[in-house]
């Protein structure tokens, strides 16, 4: 997979057509879609081709439990074309062509504990997003979901050409719970069909993933838990990932802008402090700028049109 070119205009048309539909009517799967079933699957690939000699794998893992329903809904109705637009206009990927893979994660006891899409460069990424099935309530353990399942998949079920030159892809998990400390070998066999000799510690899986991907956890303060509990959850991820644990508001406002910013900052294209000015130059409204700045922990600056000349970017976003 990975050939072709994304048609952002068509993706926007799809998003507009979905505006009045509920997310569960947009999604095409009532159960675990056969093509997203990770059981006995070998690998998901992000491979160079004539169209894209420099592909950049970007995996976005979505918590599919009820409290997180807003995130896939926003992606389907708005955020996917915005993500591609932001990546293109800011030059965040530094000349690499993004190939996006959508995944879903719930609890090991869910009918679809993990759903694994394919890396795509064109509008088929939206088709994979539509195949994701939403679950119901949360996990069997309070404040935990099976985020170690996508960690296992990213570490051991992906193949990306960027690794050959010492580069890394990007993996972002959007969720609102903690991750269990250990992934059992029984869960691995049940979900993936793989037989491993022993359980695997989550911290060891994270280390494996970080050899191949720049890993982030996007902690969405959904309101399912109170502010103090969300702080505990966020602190747990900070312990695991340090400053690559990022807190978002309950609607995951500015998800495309935040993802773009994290990629561009890591690639050295711009600094965190420059992001709000770039977003204003892109025409983003104050809510998007403020949400992005809050997630990055920087000052949002002044409203559009009021920024002093001394704070303006020396490199503006590319015109479409």
Question: Which sequence spans correspond to the domains of the chain?
Answer: 8-269, 274-320
pLDDT of residue 318: 56
Interval 85-95 mean pLDDT: 96
pLDDT of residue 142: 67
CATH superfamily entry for domain 8-269: von Willebrand factor, type A domain (3.40.50.410)
Task: Indicate the pLDDT class of residue 305, thresholds 50, 70 and 90.
Answer: very low
For the chain, report the end-to-end CA distance as a whole number of angstroms.
26
Helix 255-266, helix 80-90: angle, nearest 10 = 30
pLDDT of residue 6: 94
Instruction: Report the share of the chain in percent with pLDDT over 90.
Output: 81
Tens digit of pLDDT for each residue in 17-48? 999 999 989 998 888 999 999 998 999 999 99
Q: Are 105 and 60 in contact (CB under 8 A)?
A: no
Tens digit of pLDDT for each residue in 125-174? 999 999 999 976 554 456 899 999 999 999 999 999 999 999 999 999 99
Task: Indicate the pLDDT class of residue 317, thresholds 50, 70 and 90.
Answer: low
312 or 256: which leads in pLDDT: 256
Query: Which residues have a Cβ under 8 Å from the Cβ of 131 and sit 6 or more positions away?
Result: 27, 28, 29, 33, 35, 36, 115, 117
Per DSSP bridges, beta strands 55-63 and 97-105 are parallel
Interval 78-92 mean pLDDT: 96
From start to end of the chain, where are the E strands?
44-46, 55-63, 97-105, 114-116, 158-160, 169-175, 182-183, 200-201, 213-220, 245-248
pLDDT of residue 28: 84
From start to end of 107-163, where are the E strands?
114-116, 158-160
Task: Indicate the pLDDT class of residue 314, thresholds 50, 70 and 90.
Answer: very low
**Candidate from 159-173, 266-280, 295-309 with smallest mean pLDDT:** 295-309
**Candidate from 154-168, 275-289, 305-319 with smallest mean pLDDT:** 305-319
Task: Indicate the pLDDT class of residue 307, thresholds 50, 70 and 90.
Answer: very low
Per DSSP bridges, beta strands 97-105 and 182-183 are unpaired
Interval 258-284 mean pLDDT: 96
With a cut of 90, say whether residue 93 has pLDDT above it.
yes
| Pairwise CA distance, residues 251 & 100, whole Å | 21
Burial 12-47 (b: 16+ CB within 10 A, else e): bebbeebeeeebeebbebeebbeebbbeeeeebbbb
With a cut of 50, say whether residue 306 has pLDDT above it.
no
Interval 222-234 mean pLDDT: 84
Task: Indicate the pLDDT class of residue 51, thresholds 50, 70 and 90.
Answer: confident
Tens digit of pLDDT for each residue in 166-223? 999 999 999 999 999 999 999 999 999 999 999 999 999 999 999 999 999 999 998 6
With a cut of 50, say whether residue 309 has pLDDT above it.
no
């Amino acid at each position: 997979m990975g050939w072709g070119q994304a048609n952002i205009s068509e993706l926007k048309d799809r998003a507009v057509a979905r505006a009045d539909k509920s997310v569960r009517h947009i999604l095409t799967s009532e159960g675990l879609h056969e093509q997203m079933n990770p059981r006995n699957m070998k690998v998901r690939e992000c491979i160079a081709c004539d169209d894209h000699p420099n592909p950049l794998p970007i995996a976005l893992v979505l918590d599919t439990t009820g409290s997180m329903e807003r995130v896939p809904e926003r992606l389907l109705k708005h955020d996917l074309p915005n993500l591609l637009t932001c990546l293109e206009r800011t030059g965040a990927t530094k000349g690499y062509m993004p190939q996006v893979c959508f995944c879903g994660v719930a609890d090991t006891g869910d009918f679809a504990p993990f759903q694994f899409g394919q890396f795509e460069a064109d509008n088929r990424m939206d088709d994979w997003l539509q195949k994701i099935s939403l679950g119901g309530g949360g996990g069997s353990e309070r404040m935990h979901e099976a985020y170690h399942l996508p960690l296992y998949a990213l570490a051991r079920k992906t193949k990306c050409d960027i690794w050959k030159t010492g580069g890394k892809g990007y993996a972002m998990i959007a969720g609102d719970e903690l991750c269990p400390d250990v992934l059992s070998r029984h869960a691995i066999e049940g979900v993936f069909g793989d037989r491993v000799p022993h359980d695997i510690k989550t911290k060891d899986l994270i280390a494996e993933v970080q050899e191949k991907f720049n890993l982030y956890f996007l902690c969405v303060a959904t309101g399912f838990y109170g502010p103090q509990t969300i702080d505990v959850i966020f602190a747990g991820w900070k312990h695991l990932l340090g400053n690559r644990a990022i807190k978002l508001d309950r609607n995951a406002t500015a998800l495309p802008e935040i993802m773009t910013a994290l990629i561009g900052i890591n690639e050295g294209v711009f600094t965190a402090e420059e992001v709000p000015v770039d977003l204003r130059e892109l025409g983003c409204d104050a809510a998007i700028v403020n949400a992005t700045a809050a997630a990055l922990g920087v000052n949002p600056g002044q409203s559009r049109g009021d920024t002093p000349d001394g704070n303006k970017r020396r490199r503006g976003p590319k015109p479409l």
